[in-house]
Amino acid sequence: MKVIIVEDEKPSARRLSRMLAEINIETQAMLHSVEESVAYFKDNEHPDLIMLDIQLSDGLSFEIFDQVEVNSAIIFTTAYDEYALKAFKLNSIDYLLKPIDDEELSNAIDKFKLNRPEKHNLQVDLEQIKKLLVNPLDKTFKKRFTIKVGQHIKIVPIDEIECFYSENKGSYLFTSSKRDYLIDYSLEELETELDPTKFFRVSRKFYVNLDAIKDIVSYTNSRLKVILNNYSENEIIVSREKVKDFKKWIS
Protein backbone atom coordinates (compact mmCIF):
# COMPACT_ATOMS: atom_id res chain seq x y z
CA MET A 1 0.00 0.00 0.00
CA LYS A 2 1.26 3.49 -0.90
CA VAL A 3 0.29 6.55 1.12
CA ILE A 4 0.72 10.29 0.62
CA ILE A 5 0.75 12.65 3.60
CA VAL A 6 -0.67 16.14 3.07
CA GLU A 7 0.32 18.18 6.13
CA ASP A 8 1.62 21.75 6.35
CA GLU A 9 3.57 21.15 9.57
CA LYS A 10 6.68 19.30 8.41
CA PRO A 11 7.60 17.80 11.83
CA SER A 12 4.07 16.38 12.08
CA ALA A 13 4.34 14.95 8.57
CA ARG A 14 7.67 13.28 9.36
CA ARG A 15 6.28 11.85 12.61
CA LEU A 16 3.26 10.41 10.81
CA SER A 17 5.52 8.92 8.14
CA ARG A 18 7.58 7.19 10.84
CA MET A 19 4.41 5.84 12.46
CA LEU A 20 3.28 4.42 9.11
CA ALA A 21 6.69 2.85 8.52
CA GLU A 22 6.36 1.03 11.84
CA ILE A 23 3.30 -0.76 10.47
CA ASN A 24 5.05 -1.47 7.15
CA ILE A 25 3.36 1.21 5.07
CA GLU A 26 5.39 3.24 2.57
CA THR A 27 4.98 7.02 2.39
CA GLN A 28 5.09 7.87 -1.30
CA ALA A 29 5.39 11.64 -0.73
CA MET A 30 4.87 14.38 1.86
CA LEU A 31 3.07 17.47 0.57
CA HIS A 32 2.67 20.69 2.53
CA SER A 33 0.25 22.99 0.72
CA VAL A 34 -2.74 23.12 -1.62
CA GLU A 35 -0.55 24.38 -4.47
CA GLU A 36 2.10 21.68 -4.01
CA SER A 37 -0.55 18.96 -3.75
CA VAL A 38 -2.38 20.03 -6.91
CA ALA A 39 0.87 20.06 -8.88
CA TYR A 40 1.84 16.62 -7.57
CA PHE A 41 -1.50 14.95 -8.28
CA LYS A 42 -1.55 16.34 -11.82
CA ASP A 43 1.82 14.82 -12.70
CA ASN A 44 2.16 11.68 -10.57
CA GLU A 45 0.46 8.36 -9.93
CA HIS A 46 -2.11 8.64 -7.18
CA PRO A 47 -1.62 6.59 -3.99
CA ASP A 48 -3.98 4.10 -2.43
CA LEU A 49 -4.59 6.40 0.52
CA ILE A 50 -4.09 10.06 1.45
CA MET A 51 -3.55 11.17 5.05
CA LEU A 52 -5.05 14.64 4.73
CA ASP A 53 -4.80 17.59 7.09
CA ILE A 54 -7.67 20.07 6.67
CA GLN A 55 -6.11 23.46 7.30
CA LEU A 56 -3.00 23.93 5.14
CA SER A 57 -0.71 26.95 4.92
CA ASP A 58 -2.44 28.30 1.80
CA GLY A 59 -6.05 27.26 2.41
CA LEU A 60 -8.38 24.37 3.17
CA SER A 61 -7.28 21.05 1.69
CA PHE A 62 -10.72 20.66 0.06
CA GLU A 63 -9.48 23.16 -2.54
CA ILE A 64 -7.16 20.46 -3.90
CA PHE A 65 -10.12 18.46 -5.15
CA ASP A 66 -11.70 21.50 -6.79
CA GLN A 67 -8.67 21.67 -9.09
CA VAL A 68 -7.75 18.05 -9.72
CA GLU A 69 -9.56 14.71 -9.63
CA VAL A 70 -7.88 12.41 -7.14
CA ASN A 71 -8.43 8.65 -7.32
CA SER A 72 -7.51 7.83 -3.73
CA ALA A 73 -9.21 7.12 -0.44
CA ILE A 74 -8.80 9.66 2.36
CA ILE A 75 -8.28 9.56 6.10
CA PHE A 76 -8.42 13.02 7.63
CA THR A 77 -5.93 14.12 10.25
CA THR A 78 -7.37 17.04 12.16
CA ALA A 79 -7.06 19.17 15.26
CA TYR A 80 -10.69 20.23 14.91
CA ASP A 81 -13.16 19.65 17.68
CA GLU A 82 -16.34 17.65 18.01
CA TYR A 83 -18.42 19.84 15.71
CA ALA A 84 -16.18 19.27 12.72
CA LEU A 85 -15.72 15.59 13.49
CA LYS A 86 -19.47 15.12 13.29
CA ALA A 87 -19.25 15.81 9.55
CA PHE A 88 -16.77 13.00 9.01
CA LYS A 89 -18.85 10.55 11.02
CA LEU A 90 -21.94 11.36 8.98
CA ASN A 91 -20.10 10.54 5.79
CA SER A 92 -18.24 7.43 6.98
CA ILE A 93 -14.80 8.90 6.25
CA ASP A 94 -12.34 8.08 8.99
CA TYR A 95 -10.35 10.72 10.85
CA LEU A 96 -7.50 10.90 13.32
CA LEU A 97 -7.55 13.57 15.99
CA LYS A 98 -4.18 15.21 16.59
CA PRO A 99 -1.91 14.34 18.28
CA ILE A 100 -2.24 11.03 16.47
CA ASP A 101 -2.23 7.90 18.58
CA ASP A 102 -0.43 4.75 17.36
CA GLU A 103 -3.36 2.45 18.05
CA GLU A 104 -5.89 4.78 16.44
CA LEU A 105 -3.72 5.05 13.34
CA SER A 106 -3.45 1.27 13.08
CA ASN A 107 -7.22 0.89 13.53
CA ALA A 108 -7.92 3.50 10.85
CA ILE A 109 -5.65 1.72 8.39
CA ASP A 110 -7.34 -1.59 9.15
CA LYS A 111 -10.73 0.02 8.58
CA PHE A 112 -9.54 1.38 5.23
CA LYS A 113 -8.29 -2.05 4.12
CA LEU A 114 -11.63 -3.64 4.94
CA ASN A 115 -13.79 -0.90 3.45
CA ARG A 116 -11.97 0.69 0.55
CA PRO A 117 -14.27 3.42 -0.78
CA GLU A 118 -14.94 3.60 -4.50
CA LYS A 119 -13.86 6.63 -6.45
CA HIS A 120 -17.37 8.04 -6.94
CA ASN A 121 -18.14 7.74 -3.22
CA LEU A 122 -15.10 9.85 -2.40
CA GLN A 123 -16.37 12.73 -4.53
CA VAL A 124 -19.84 12.63 -2.96
CA ASP A 125 -18.43 12.52 0.55
CA LEU A 126 -16.14 15.51 -0.01
CA GLU A 127 -19.02 17.61 -1.29
CA GLN A 128 -21.16 16.70 1.69
CA ILE A 129 -18.36 17.47 4.12
CA LYS A 130 -17.73 20.86 2.56
CA LYS A 131 -21.42 21.70 2.96
CA LEU A 132 -21.44 20.60 6.58
CA LEU A 133 -18.20 22.25 7.56
CA VAL A 134 -18.25 25.34 5.33
CA ASN A 135 -15.11 26.72 6.94
CA PRO A 136 -15.18 25.74 10.63
CA LEU A 137 -12.83 28.62 11.41
CA ASP A 138 -15.53 31.05 10.26
CA LYS A 139 -18.50 29.26 11.81
CA THR A 140 -20.74 31.43 13.97
CA PHE A 141 -22.78 29.92 16.80
CA LYS A 142 -25.88 30.98 18.66
CA LYS A 143 -25.38 33.87 21.07
CA ARG A 144 -28.86 33.72 22.61
CA PHE A 145 -32.11 31.75 22.70
CA THR A 146 -35.59 33.27 22.57
CA ILE A 147 -38.17 31.59 24.80
CA LYS A 148 -41.91 32.12 24.75
CA VAL A 149 -43.21 32.59 28.31
CA GLY A 150 -46.99 33.08 28.22
CA GLN A 151 -47.59 36.17 26.08
CA HIS A 152 -43.97 37.28 26.43
CA ILE A 153 -40.74 36.43 24.67
CA LYS A 154 -37.71 36.07 26.91
CA ILE A 155 -34.14 36.43 25.64
CA VAL A 156 -31.61 34.12 27.29
CA PRO A 157 -27.93 34.89 26.51
CA ILE A 158 -25.84 31.79 25.84
CA ASP A 159 -23.43 32.62 28.70
CA GLU A 160 -26.29 32.32 31.21
CA ILE A 161 -27.08 28.73 30.19
CA GLU A 162 -25.56 26.03 32.40
CA CYS A 163 -26.85 23.06 30.44
CA PHE A 164 -29.36 21.71 27.96
CA TYR A 165 -31.21 18.49 28.74
CA SER A 166 -33.94 16.28 27.34
CA GLU A 167 -36.88 15.01 29.36
CA ASN A 168 -40.26 13.50 28.44
CA LYS A 169 -39.64 14.02 24.71
CA GLY A 170 -38.86 17.72 25.21
CA SER A 171 -35.62 19.70 25.32
CA TYR A 172 -34.87 22.33 27.95
CA LEU A 173 -32.22 24.85 28.87
CA PHE A 174 -31.27 25.58 32.47
CA THR A 175 -29.92 28.99 33.47
CA SER A 176 -27.52 30.22 36.14
CA SER A 177 -30.55 31.89 37.78
CA LYS A 178 -31.96 28.39 38.39
CA ARG A 179 -34.73 28.54 35.80
CA ASP A 180 -35.45 26.04 33.07
CA TYR A 181 -37.27 26.68 29.82
CA LEU A 182 -38.64 24.48 27.06
CA ILE A 183 -36.90 25.11 23.72
CA ASP A 184 -37.77 24.33 20.11
CA TYR A 185 -34.54 22.44 19.41
CA SER A 186 -33.72 18.77 19.88
CA LEU A 187 -30.30 17.98 21.36
CA GLU A 188 -29.27 16.66 17.95
CA GLU A 189 -30.16 19.98 16.34
CA LEU A 190 -28.12 21.83 18.94
CA GLU A 191 -24.94 20.13 17.72
CA THR A 192 -24.55 22.65 14.89
CA GLU A 193 -25.79 25.63 16.92
CA LEU A 194 -23.55 25.51 20.00
CA ASP A 195 -19.91 26.56 20.18
CA PRO A 196 -18.07 23.25 20.80
CA THR A 197 -15.37 25.03 22.80
CA LYS A 198 -18.06 26.04 25.32
CA PHE A 199 -20.59 23.18 25.23
CA PHE A 200 -20.10 19.42 25.21
CA ARG A 201 -22.70 16.67 24.86
CA VAL A 202 -21.76 14.36 27.71
CA SER A 203 -24.60 11.89 27.11
CA ARG A 204 -27.83 11.39 25.20
CA LYS A 205 -29.58 13.59 27.78
CA PHE A 206 -27.18 16.45 28.52
CA TYR A 207 -25.11 19.24 27.03
CA VAL A 208 -23.02 21.11 29.61
CA ASN A 209 -21.39 24.54 29.61
CA LEU A 210 -17.67 24.40 30.46
CA ASP A 211 -17.91 27.60 32.52
CA ALA A 212 -20.72 26.13 34.65
CA ILE A 213 -18.79 23.04 35.78
CA LYS A 214 -18.18 23.11 39.52
CA ASP A 215 -16.65 19.66 39.96
CA ILE A 216 -15.93 16.40 38.12
CA VAL A 217 -15.98 13.14 40.07
CA SER A 218 -15.04 9.58 39.14
CA TYR A 219 -18.11 7.40 38.71
CA THR A 220 -18.84 3.70 38.24
CA ASN A 221 -17.85 1.79 35.09
CA SER A 222 -15.07 4.23 34.16
CA ARG A 223 -17.51 7.10 33.79
CA LEU A 224 -17.45 10.63 35.19
CA LYS A 225 -20.03 12.64 37.11
CA VAL A 226 -20.28 16.35 36.33
CA ILE A 227 -21.49 18.76 39.01
CA LEU A 228 -22.68 22.17 37.84
CA ASN A 229 -22.89 25.39 39.81
CA ASN A 230 -26.68 25.35 40.14
CA TYR A 231 -28.32 22.46 38.29
CA SER A 232 -28.99 19.52 40.62
CA GLU A 233 -32.27 17.95 39.52
CA ASN A 234 -30.66 14.90 37.92
CA GLU A 235 -27.18 13.41 37.92
CA ILE A 236 -25.09 14.40 34.90
CA ILE A 237 -22.99 11.39 33.90
CA VAL A 238 -20.43 11.41 31.10
CA SER A 239 -21.11 8.23 29.17
CA ARG A 240 -18.19 5.82 28.96
CA GLU A 241 -17.68 6.22 25.22
CA LYS A 242 -17.43 10.01 25.63
CA VAL A 243 -15.03 10.13 28.58
CA LYS A 244 -11.88 10.31 26.44
CA ASP A 245 -13.21 13.15 24.27
CA PHE A 246 -14.56 14.94 27.34
CA LYS A 247 -11.15 14.91 28.97
CA LYS A 248 -9.62 16.38 25.82
CA TRP A 249 -12.36 19.02 25.74
CA ILE A 250 -11.82 20.26 29.28
CA SER A 251 -8.08 20.41 28.63
Asked if the model's pLDDT at residue 83 lies above 60, the reply is no
pLDDT, position 118? 52
d(CA 247, CA 251): 6
pLDDT, position 174? 98
Residue 47 and residue 23 in contact, taking contact as beta carbons nearer than 8 Å: no
pLDDT, position 90? 41
Tell whether 28 and 134 lie within a shared domain: yes
Tell whether 202 and 239 lie within a shared domain: yes
pLDDT, position 80? 63
Confidence at 180, pLDDT banded by 50, 70, 90: very high
Tell whether 227 and 188 lie within a shared domain: yes
Tell whether 103 and 149 lie within a shared domain: no
Residue 132 and residue 87 in contact, taking contact as beta carbons nearer than 8 Å: yes
Tell whether 152 and 47 lie within a shared domain: no
Give the domain extent around 245. 144-250
The predicted model gives 66-92 an average pLDDT of 67
Which residues does 142 contact at the CB level (< 8 Å), separation at least 6?
Answer: 158, 193, 194
Confidence at 129, pLDDT banded by 50, 70, 90: low
Tell whether 17 and 124 lie within a shared domain: yes
pLDDT in tens, 195-249: 888 999 999 999 999 999 999 999 999 999 999 999 999 999 999 889 998 998 9
Kind of pairing, strands 180-183 and 170-175?
Answer: antiparallel
pLDDT, position 138? 55
pLDDT, position 124? 45
pLDDT in tens, 90-120: 444 677 877 788 888 998 898 888 876 554 4
- Kindly provide the residue ranges of all beta strands, DSSP E only, lying in the chain, ordered along the sequence: 2-6, 26-31, 49-53, 55-56, 59-60, 73-78, 95-97, 144-149, 152-157, 161-167, 170-175, 180-183, 199-201, 206-209, 213-219, 223-228, 236-238
- Among 138, 158, 176, where does a domain finish? 138
Please give the tally of structural domains in the chain.
2
The predicted model gives 39-47 an average pLDDT of 93
Tell whether 119 and 13 lie within a shared domain: yes
For residue 92, the domain's CATH number is: 3.40.50.2300
Confidence at 71, pLDDT banded by 50, 70, 90: confident
- Among 104, 138, 172, where does a domain finish? 138
pLDDT in tens, 27-40: 999 999 999 999 99
- Among 115, 138, 161, where does a domain finish? 138
